[in-house]
């Protein structure tokens, strides 16, 4: 069995208004305990994963690079001791442009982190301010150059589009700047308003307008065409890569392969069973320090849940759903209206279909008996 | 056993809304020690939450007060123009009426209407000015006005404050002195008037009755005249103010009867109860009539599977609400429901709220309409539902109900009142000055124009000073058309309405604009159109949606994404389908709201 490992680092310099991840500013004094707890948890979890070959490790957050390269290096070392991490595993860490420089990046690379995922978000200062990101477009360029200088040959840039104040023209410039840097991988996410965030509350109060879905649709289509022209392959709704640089770790999630999550709020999956750790870092620390697995919840997928996930994820990664799974009359309207293509026995979303993916999923997954 | 009639007084209080009727009732309960101080609460007799919240009496209630060896039965009548028939039946149970007038406000339209009803019922009027302790009170002016109306000696008009209790003892004495005792013969066959009835989940049908002749024993086989139903009655009692069993109710007495009936349609307000068999009366008391609904609306369960529950709930409400009519209706858009007839808009609101609160139902109500008479040649069809009206003018003429409306307004606002009535297609009948500052105006107005928001506009146009009362005044021909609303070419029957031709364009425009905001974007452009027959009079387009995708799906939290999809799926399943268009419940509810506020906010 091959598997992935996700490690959650909940620390951030500041909280951004749009973000609803399990992340905290001002908990820096917990870092040493947290690092020890991750190692303890890895030890507790490892026996159940005996025999699994770990093909990817992903550090997400939060901002993993708020921890020192040395700490992150010893973390990875500990994971290699506890699990069978394959020698050519993809090992990614997320990075905030303001928390890295050439020396620290070189140390990370030396410590075994071979892939870097950088939160650029935008090259428009107004958009960065609107997202409450502290960094400037220049710091993205600087950090990217530092990554190259440190020897990174597999770098992702994360982008967010559709924030208040962003126009199609501004988004076009951001895409142009991104392409000019020539990263191996680009993730571009439409800004989603999460109710339980400062931005969500501002939208609810009417202080900030909700993103216009039509503008976001235009932005998506612009990203599709500019990135395609620049030689990127579109392999998931929000992800593009040069051939061979698709993120193996994320593909594991989407292909419903097993993964183990370590850290506060991290999710795990194996054999139609999902479980997740408690979210608050203090609670996580307390449970691990008592020698318990910090599990906060779990679910076992029944066949219809599993089928819905399968359809949803297959459509997202553009592998498509086998035509044989779906009754003809369900697929037909989508084929006719150009949201789906039939390709070699599979139903695959078109660009317009990707934008209306929820409709496709609900329309196709309704025939749950067909699997 | 029962009280000697010479020591009984049956009376009610008639007043314009807010003139202090419920406060006076509270004070009478206190002064006569009917309710202990510690148990007292405001608006004691208003039993329903709704009544207390709205500050009005919906149901007639009676309570027995004991004072100086007299049995005083206070019958608290409904206080709204919708319930004129119920008021008239409650009046039948009395020999006297306290006519209560606010000493600051003076005579109002409802004061006059209720006074006329009480006088027509042959009641002795005990006039009283209330709120005399208010700084704005003008007792002398009001006394003159009232004496003029009643053609009585100003000295006979009592001055009281229901709030402080001043003058309330004197009022009680006046009731005893001036209101005649009831007449009735214990030896005659039983005739008892039902002036209210209700359904108790444990005891079945309970009626409130006034015995006119004979004796109503606690246990007896009884018969209803109008419905020809017989039953074993289980208990007689009086409200003092909590229900208290008594062995029997004699002539002139007022109380309740647990009828033993379980079926909800058999004990109607206004009907006469007698004993079954040979000892029973041969004639009912005069004056019973089937109450006639004035306003109709379709009520549909938001969840189609609640249809049977809605039917049961309506059956139960009908028992205590003889004016409620309903018949099954099928709507293409809303499924199975009922076309319900109401006395007026308040009555409709109350029924709807009671169904939702007491029976825990979620409802969609179509826009209310009046009853139309559609003529084709000599053939006349009664239309309670716009969908039944032939579209596109395939008829010779349409008649609509009109009312004779009385408005009393300060003369400063006469222009505003007349402007409003004109705009609502009213025809001026006459006007007269009650005093140099106050005018009484009469209009004949289409019922359809006043049942919705006329009263609100009247109030806002006169800074709250004008009052309104009206009574049915027959049918009148009008240039009425049916406006349909189409979604993607499919008519939505629930949105059809009948309006005057001159107002059809504005109505159509308002509806399509509202729906444009309420209908979620679909996978294709949706035309929203208003039409008279095949002629389109307004159009908007709901543009096809382009984006409906979860942006981010990583970090391994697939569970949450799946749940979002499941939520979306459930939301879709709850929508109604009109042709190919999915319409959420909320869109129906919002689009059918009675207010004319085009403020359909909250884009979906």
Chain A (3-22) residues lying within 8 Å, Cβ to Cβ, of chain B: 6, 21
CA distances from B101 to B137, B392, B462 (A): 11, 51, 20
pLDDT in tens, B118-147: 888 899 999 999 999 999 999 998 999 899
| pLDDT score of B576 | 85
Which residue of chain B comes nearest to A261, CA vs CA? B556
Mean per-residue pLDDT over chain A, rounded = 94
Residue B549 to residue A216, Cβ atoms within 8 A: no
Contact: B559, A6; criterion CB under 8 Å: no
Q: How much is the ipTM here? A: 0.89
pLDDT for B264? 61
Interchain CB distance below 8 Å, B550 and A217: no
Report domain A303-370's class: mainly alpha
Q: Report percent pLDDT > 70 for chain A.
A: 98
* Degrees to nearest 5, angle at CA B88 with B82 and B90: 105
Domains present along chain B, CATH in parentheses: 5-178 (3.40.50.300), 191-275 (2.40.30.10), 295-366 (3.30.70.870), 373-478 (3.30.70.240), 481-591 (3.30.70.2570)
- Is residue A111 within 8 angstroms of chain B, CB to CB? no
The DSSP result for B498-560, as a single string, is EEEHHHHHHHHHHHHHHHHHHSPP-SS-EEEEEEETTEEEEEEEEPPP-----S---TT-HHH
Gap between the terminal Cα atoms of chain A:
24
Residue contact B551–A189, C-beta within 8 A: yes
Query: Cβ separation of A213 and B524 shorter than 8 Å?
Result: no
Q: Does A168 touch chain B (CB under 8 A)?
A: no
pLDDT at A50 over 70: yes
Q: Report strand pairing: B325-331 vs B235-239.
A: unpaired
- How close B570 gets to chain A, by Cα (Å)? 10
Q: Which of A20, A206, A238 to mutate to test the interface with B (most CBs of B within 10 A)?
A: A238
| Cβ–Cβ gap A358/B523 under 8 Å | no
pLDDT at residue A322 is higher than 90 = yes
Please tell me the distance from the alpha carbon of residue B128 to that of residue B143, in angstroms, as a whole number.
Answer: 9
Phi, psi of B215 (to 5 degrees): -130, 135
Cβ contacts (< 8 Å) between A250 and chain B: which residues? Answer: 554
With an 8 Å Cβ cutoff, are A309 and B551 in contact? no
Within an 8 Å CB–CB cutoff, is residue A332 touching chain B? no
Q: What pLDDT, on the 0 to 100 scale, is given for residue A368?
A: 45
Cβ of B555 and A267 within 8 Å? yes
pLDDT, tens digit, for every residue of B38-53? 777 776 666 555 555 6
CB contact under 8 A, A312 and B568: no
Chain B: residue nearest A362 by CA?
A: B569
Residue A150's pLDDT band, with cuts at 50, 70 and 90, is: very high
DSSP string, A113-172: --EEEEEEE-S-HHHHHHTT----HHHHHHHHHHHHHHT---EEEEEEE--TT--HHHHH
Provide the pLDDT for residue B53. 60
State the Cα–Cα distance between residues B385 and B498, nearest whole angstrom.
9
**Dist. CA B311–CA B328, nearest whole Å:** 9
Query: Which element (helix H / strand E) includes B168?
Result: helix B168-178
Q: Which of chain A's residues have a Cβ under 8 Å away from the Cβ of B552?
A: 189, 192, 238
**List of chain B residues whose C-beta atoms are within 8 Å of the C-beta of residue A238:** 551-553
Between CA B338 and CA B346 the distance in angstroms is 18
* Neighboring chain A residues of B567 at a CB cutoff of 8 Å: none
From chain B, pick out residues whose CB is under 8 angstroms from the CB of A254: 553
Q: Quick: pLDDT tens for B55-102.
A: 555 555 788 999 999 999 998 776 666 667 777 788 889 999 999 999
Look at residue B57 in the predicted model and tell me its pLDDT: 53
- Residues with Cβ within 8 Å of A172's Cβ and at least 6 positions away in sequence, in order, are A222, A226
Look at B558 and A191 and tell me if their CB atoms are within 8 Å: no
- Torsion of the alpha carbons at B268, B269, B271 and B274, rounded to the nearest 10: 80
Q: Of A82, A75, A22, give the one whose Cα is nearest residue A267.
A: A22
Q: How far is CA B365 from the centre of its chain?
A: 16
Cβ contact B550–A358 (<8 Å): yes
Residues of chain B with Cβ-Cβ distance to A214 below 8 Å are 543, 546-547
| Number of neighbours of residue A103 by Cβ within 10 angstroms | 12
Q: Do the Cβ atoms of A237 and B553 come within 8 Å?
A: yes
d(CA B480, CA B473) in angstroms, rounded, equals: 18
Contact B547 A355 (CB under 8 A): yes
Q: Model's pTM, two decimal places?
A: 0.71
Q: Do B551 and A190 touch (CB under 8 A)?
A: yes
- Look at residue B117 and give its three-state secondary structure: helix
Q: Which helix (H) or strand (E) holds B109?
A: helix B109-120
Distance from CA of A316 to the nearest CA of B (A): 9
Considering only the beta carbons, identify the residue of A220, A267, A312 that sits closest to B557.
Answer: A267
Based on the number of CB atoms within 10 Å of its own CB, is B566 exposed (0-12), middle (13-18) or buried (19 or more)? middle
Domains in chain A: boundaries: 2-254, 303-370
> What class does CATH assign to A2-254?
alpha beta
Cβ–Cβ contact A355 with B under 8 A? yes
Chain B positions touching chain A (beta carbons under 8 Å): 523-524, 543, 545-559, 561-562, 565-566, 568-569, 572
- Mutate which of B521, B523, B545, B551 to disrupt the A interface (most A C-beta within 10 Å)? B551
Contact flag A190-B546 (C-beta cutoff 8 Å): no
Nearest Cα to Cα of residue A122 among A154, A169, A59, A155: A169
Q: Report chain B's mean pLDDT, rounded to a whole number.
A: 88
What pLDDT is recorded for position B603? Answer: 30
Interface of A with B in 69-88 (CB under 8 A): none
Number of other CB atoms surrounding residue A223 within 10 Å: 24
Nearest chain B Cα to A361, which residue? B565
Q: What pLDDT digit, counting tens, does each position of A229-243 carry? A: 999 999 999 999 999
Average pLDDT over residues A166-178: 97
Give the whole-angstrom CA distance, residue A235 versus residue A255: 12
User: Using CA of residue B177, residue B183, residue B185, residue B191, what is the dihedral sign?
Assistant: negative
Residues of chain B with pLDDT under 70: 1-2, 43-60, 78-83, 264, 320, 322, 553-555, 594-604
Write down the pLDDT at residue B44. 67
d(CA B104, CA B106): 6
Q: Residue B48 has what pLDDT?
A: 54
Beta carbons of B548 and A357 less than 8 Å apart: yes
**Cβ contact, residue pair A190, B547, below 8 Å:** yes
For residue range A255-306, what is the model confidence (pLDDT) as tens digits? 999 999 999 999 999 999 999 999 999 999 999 999 999 999 999 999 989 9
Q: Residues with Cβ < 8 Å from A4, sequence gap 6 or more?
A: A54, A55, A56, A57, A58, A248, A249, A252, A253, A257, A258, A259, A260
Tokens at A88, concatenated:
């050519």
CB pair distance less than 8 Å for A355 and B559? no
Alpha helices in chain A (DSSP H): 31-45, 69-82, 102-110, 125-130, 137-150, 168-181, 198-205, 213-229, 248-254, 281-289, 303-316, 328-336, 351-355, 357-365
Contact by Cβ (8 Å): A24, A15: yes
Tokens describing residue A205: 């109060």
pLDDT single digits (tens) B468-505: 888 889 999 999 999 999 999 999 999 999 999 999 99
Residue A216: pLDDT over 50:
yes
- Where b means 16+ CB within 10 Å and e means fewer, A186-218 reads bbbbbbbbeeebebbebbeeeebeebebebbbb
pLDDT at B595: 56
Give the minimum alpha-carbon distance from B602 to chain A in angstroms, rounded to a whole number.
11
- DSSP SS3 for B344: coil
């Amino acid at each position: 069995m091959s598997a992935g490992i996700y490690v959650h680092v909940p620390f951030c310099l500041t909280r951004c208004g749009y973000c609803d991840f399990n992340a905290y500013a001002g908990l820096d004094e917990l870092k040493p305990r947290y690092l020890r707890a991750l190692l303890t948890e890895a030890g507790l979890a490892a026996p159940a994963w005996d025999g699994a070959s770990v093909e990817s490790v992903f550090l997400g957050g939060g901002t993993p690079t708020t921890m020192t390269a040395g700490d992150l290096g010893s973390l990875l070392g500990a994971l290699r001791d506890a699990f069978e991490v394959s020698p050519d595993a993809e090992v990614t860490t997320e990075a905030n442009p303001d928390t890295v420089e050439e020396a620290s990046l070189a140390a990370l690379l030396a410590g075994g982190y071979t892939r870097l995922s950088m939160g650029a978000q935008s090259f428009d200062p107004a958009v960065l301010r609107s997202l409450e990101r502290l960094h400037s477009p220049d710091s993205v360029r600087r950090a990217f150059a530092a990554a190259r200088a440190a020897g990174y040959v597999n770098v992702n840039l994360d982008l967010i589009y559709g924030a208040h104040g962003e126009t199609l023209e501004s988004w076009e410039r951001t895409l142009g700047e991104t392409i000019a840097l020539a990263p191996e991988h680009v993730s571009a996410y439409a800004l989603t308003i999460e109710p339980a965030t400062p931005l969500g509350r501002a939208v609810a109060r009417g202080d900030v307008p909700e993103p216009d879905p039509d503008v976001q649709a235009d932005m998506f289509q612009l990203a599709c065409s500019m990135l395609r022209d620049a030689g990127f392959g579109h392999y998931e709704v929000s992800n593009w890569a040069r051939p061979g640089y698709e993120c193996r770790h994320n593909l594991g999630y989407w292909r419903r392969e097993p993964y183990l999550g370590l850290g506060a709020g991290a999710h795990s999956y194996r054999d139609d069973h999902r479980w997740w750790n408690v979210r608050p870092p203090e609670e996580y620390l307390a449970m691990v320090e008592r020698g318990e697995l910090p599990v906060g919840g779990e679910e076992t997928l029944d066949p219809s849940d599993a089928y819905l996930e399968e359809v949803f994820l297959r459509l997202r990664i553009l592998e498509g759903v086998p035509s044989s799974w779906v009754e003809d009359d369900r697929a037909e309207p989508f084929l006719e209206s150009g949201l789906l293509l039939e390709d070699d026995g599979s139903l695959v979303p078109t660009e317009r279909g990707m934008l209306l993916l929820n409709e496709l999923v609900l329309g196709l997954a309704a025939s749950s008996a067909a699997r | 056993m029962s009280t000697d009639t010479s020591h009984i007084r049956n009376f009610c209080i008639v007043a314009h809304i807010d003139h202090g009727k419920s406060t006076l009732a509270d004070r009478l309960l206190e002064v006569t020690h009917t309710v202990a101080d510690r148990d007292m609460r405001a608006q004691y007799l208003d039993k329903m939450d709704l009544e207390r919240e709205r500050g009005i009496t919906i149901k007639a209630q009676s309570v027995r007060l004991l004072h100086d060896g007299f049995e005083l039965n206070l019958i608290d009548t409904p206080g709204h123009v919708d319930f004129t028939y119920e008021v008239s039946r409650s009046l039948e149970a009395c020999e006297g009426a306290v006519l209560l007038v606010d000493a600051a406000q003076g005579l109002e339209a409802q004061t006059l209407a209720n006074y006329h009803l009480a006088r027509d019922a042959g009641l002795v009027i005990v006039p009283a000015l209330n709120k005399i302790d208010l700084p704005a009170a003008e007792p002398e002016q009001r006394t003159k006005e009232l004496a003029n109306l009643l053609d009585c000696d100003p000295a006979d008009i009592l001055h009281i404050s229901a709030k402080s209790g001043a003058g309330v003892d004197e009022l009680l004495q006046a009731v005893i002195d001036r209101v005649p005792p009831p007449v009735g013969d214990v030896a005659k066959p039983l005739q008892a008037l039902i002036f209210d009835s209700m359904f108790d989940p444990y005891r079945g049908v309970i009626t409130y009755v006034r015995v006119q002749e004979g004796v109503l024993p606690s246990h007896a086989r009884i018969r209803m005249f109008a419905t020809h139903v017989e039953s074993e009655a289980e208990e007689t009692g009086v409200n003092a103010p909590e229900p208290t069993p008594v062995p029997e109710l004699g002539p002139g007495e007022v109380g309740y009867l647990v009828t033993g009936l379980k079926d909800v349609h058999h004990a109607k307000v206004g009907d006469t109860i007698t004993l079954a068999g040979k000892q029973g009366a041969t004639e009912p008391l005069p004056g019973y009539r089937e109450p006639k609904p004035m306003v109709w609306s379709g009520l549909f369960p938001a969840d189609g599977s609640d249809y049977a529950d809605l039917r049961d709930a309506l059956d139960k409400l009908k028992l205590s609400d003889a004016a409620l009519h309903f018949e099954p209706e099928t709507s293409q858009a809303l499924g199975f429901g009922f076309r319900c007839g109401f006395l007026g808009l308040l009555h409709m609101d109350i029924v709807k709220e009671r169904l939702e609160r007491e029976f825990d139902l979620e409802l969609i109500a179509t826009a209310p309409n009046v009853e139309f008479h559609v003529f084709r040649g000599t053939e006349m069809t009664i239309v309670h539902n716009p969908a039944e009206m032939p579209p596109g003018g395939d008829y010779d003429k349409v008649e609509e109900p009109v009312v004779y409306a009385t408005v009393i307004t300060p003369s400063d606002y006469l222009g505003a009142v007349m402007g409003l009535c004109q705009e609502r297609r009213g025809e001026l009948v006459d006007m007269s000055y009650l005093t140099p500052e106050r005018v009484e105006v009469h209009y004949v107005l289409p019922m359809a124009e006043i049942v919705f928001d006329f009263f609100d506009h009247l109030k806002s146009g006169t800074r709250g000073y004008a009052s309104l009362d009206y009574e049915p005044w027959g049918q009148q021909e009008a240039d009425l058309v049916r406006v349909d609303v189409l979604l993607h070419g499919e008519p939505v029957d629930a949105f059809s309405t009948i309006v005057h031709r001159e107002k059809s364009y504005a109505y159509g425009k308002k509806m399509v604009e509202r729906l444009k905001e309420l209908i979620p974007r679909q996978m294709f452009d949706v035309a929203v159109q208003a039409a008279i027959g095949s002629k389109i009079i307004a159009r908007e387009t709901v543009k096809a949606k382009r984006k409906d995708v979860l942006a981010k799906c990583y970090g391994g939290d697939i569970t949450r994404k799946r749940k979002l999809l499941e939520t979306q799926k459930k939301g879709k399943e709850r929508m109604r389908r009109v042709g190919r268009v999915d319409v959420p419940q909320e869109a129906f509810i919002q689009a059918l709201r009675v207010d004319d506020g085009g403020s359909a906010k909250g884009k979906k």
